[in-house]
Amino acid sequence: MSNLELVFPEIFLSLAIMFLLILGVFKKNSSKLIQNISLIILLITAMITFNETLGINETFLFNGSIVIDYLSSFMKIVTLLAAFIVLVISSNYLKIFKIFKIEYPILILSSVLGMMIMISSNDLIVFYMGLELQSLALYVLATFNRDQLKSSEAGLKYFVLSALSSGLLLYGCSLIYGFTGSTNFNLIADQLNADQYALTFGIVFILVGLAFKISAVPFHMWAPDVYEGSPTPVTLFFTMVPKIAALTVFIRFLYVPFLNLIEQWQMILIFLSIASMLFGAIAAIGQTNLKRLIAYSSISHIGYALAGLATGSNEGIQSSVIYITIYILMNLGFFSCLLMMKRNNEYYEDISDLSGLSKNHPLLSLSLLVILFSLAGIPPLAGFFAKFYIFKSVIEQSMYFLAIVGLLSTVVAAFYYLRIIKIIYFDKEKAKYDTDHSFGLKFSLSLSTLLILIYFIFPSQLIEVVSRINII
């Protein structure tokens, strides 16, 4: 087991979670301490991942059930950094609602560990273990604010529907195991004949389970309610981090064992992509709550990421990875703005609460303007380039219908983003919001706004990093 250092990040994170649990039990009132230690743990794990695994060629561990390559290393680092920022900007919100407890950072770390296992999985069983570890932590996080009815409802809804999707996923895994005699992705690929149509059923069941996890249409029904009911930092975590792991699993599951069966699964991905893009864009128009709006917006955005995967090309995979990275950046900025809409220890989440924001908070309004324009895909902001790469990879594969639908849904989506901007700049102003925000919140907003603004100066940097991902 000479390559054991390649799984050091996961081992270190597991031991750290156990240490924090023991510390939380024996030391009273240690919420702040555990929060700070968790932040350090996430940074150390990211550094270990960067040092130990980033430059490594494709390496298999534990009889081929774990794979360490550039894709897994990159996605792990993005996951860890996103979780770090979520933790940084959570503390004020949690303190106000009196839910600043030791369990919160530990649950975040546990779900991140599950995601890291998912990202490196090269086996159906390992992938399922990672998925369940992630999901169990997310169930509790969704219902973290127990005193609020909406939060309890969100947790229950997510639990019931997620359990159903996990069941379907497990059924798909058992079908594939039954037909091929293996759960390892490489061995499945070796056993595969292109005419094994029975396998399609297994693939469909697993894709349904995965589509649920990323809230793609028609398995999106949980997202708006869960996003609205969960505490705002948890909603931010939901919109960003699980999608990174799920997208990586999509890539691994489809492109390693089932690349020869592309005719079978390509149509499913195209359907999921088109349905998500259109439905997300249209359903968001009638929303009045910002968290519900972002839920429908995230459904639409995941449709674009799936469009890249549906191409069946390496360029498509790279464009999807770029898209999800930029999407995380935009979401981070948006939720930082949302967490700043606080007055007398009360948070405001309705679109009408943004009315005339520019009069009292010009800098916050400007940041929100940049983020919303980027989400709409207006050049020269980062969101435009994210969509451009997707459209480029789709058109290169002559999938013109998919590109046209994507373009149409972008136009529809621009409507509700522009409506919010109109409310911010032209409607009658409301009472001033508090300005005593934490350094972490100001930093995350400034950083995301700045990176979105200046991305067009150095687009090649991200492309260069992502171009090293070669799956096919």
- Asked whether 21 and 106 are in contact (CB, 8 A), the reply is yes
Q: What CA–CA distance (Å, rounded) separates 94 from 252?
A: 36
pLDDT tens, 347-370? Answer: 888 888 888 888 888 888 899 999
162 pLDDT above the threshold of 80:
yes
| Secondary structure (DSSP) of 353-364 | GGTTHHHH-HHH
pLDDT tens, 93-127? Answer: 888 888 888 888 999 999 999 999 999 999 999 99
The predicted model gives 417-429 an average pLDDT of 87
Q: What CA–CA distance (Å, rounded) separates 120 from 127?
A: 8
Say which DSSP state 181 is in.
Answer: S
Q: What CA–CA distance (Å, rounded) separates 152 from 210?
A: 24
243 pLDDT above the threshold of 80:
yes
The pLDDT value recorded for residue 195 is 54
The predicted model gives 19-30 an average pLDDT of 86
56: CB partners within 8 A, 6+ apart: 6, 68, 69, 70, 73
- Asked whether 250 and 210 are in contact (CB, 8 A), the reply is yes
The pLDDT value recorded for residue 69 is 87
pLDDT tens, 74-83? Answer: 999 999 999 9
pLDDT tens, 42-70? Answer: 999 999 888 877 777 778 888 888 988 88
The pLDDT value recorded for residue 199 is 82
Comparing C-alpha atoms, which of 105, 98, 190, 206 is closest to residue 146? 98
pLDDT tens, 441-466? Answer: 888 889 999 999 888 888 777 888 88
User: CB 79: neighbour CB atoms within 10 A?
Assistant: 28
Comparing C-alpha atoms, which of 312, 402, 426, 414 is closest to residue 372? 414
- Asked whether 311 and 389 are in contact (CB, 8 A), the reply is no
pLDDT tens, 288-342? Answer: 888 889 889 899 999 999 999 998 888 889 999 999 999 999 999 999 988 888 8
The pLDDT value recorded for residue 356 is 82
Cα atoms found within 13 Å of the Cα of residue 248, Cβ hemisphere only: 31
Mapping DSSP to helix (H, G, I), strand (E, B) and coil, where does residue 350 land? Answer: strand
Instruction: Round the average pLDDT of the chain to a whole number and report it.
Output: 87
Looking at the chain, the whole-number percentage of residues with pLDDT higher than 90 is 28
Reported confidence tier of residue 142, pLDDT bands at 50, 70, 90: confident
The predicted model gives 167-182 an average pLDDT of 88
393: CB partners within 8 A, 6+ apart: 308, 311, 313, 315, 316, 318, 319
- Asked whether 101 and 212 are in contact (CB, 8 A), the reply is no
pTM of the model: 0.93
Domain ranges (residues) in the chain: 258-472
Comparing C-alpha atoms, which of 122, 95, 282, 113 is closest to residue 188? 122
Structure tokens at 74: 């990159």
194 pLDDT above the threshold of 70:
no
The pLDDT value recorded for residue 188 is 86
pLDDT tens, 370-389? Answer: 999 999 888 888 889 999 99
The pLDDT value recorded for residue 84 is 93
Torsion of CA 205, 400, 459, 58, to 10 degrees: 40
Structure tokens at 50: 């960067």
The pLDDT value recorded for residue 196 is 67
pLDDT tens, 257-272? Answer: 888 888 888 898 999 9
The pLDDT value recorded for residue 193 is 64
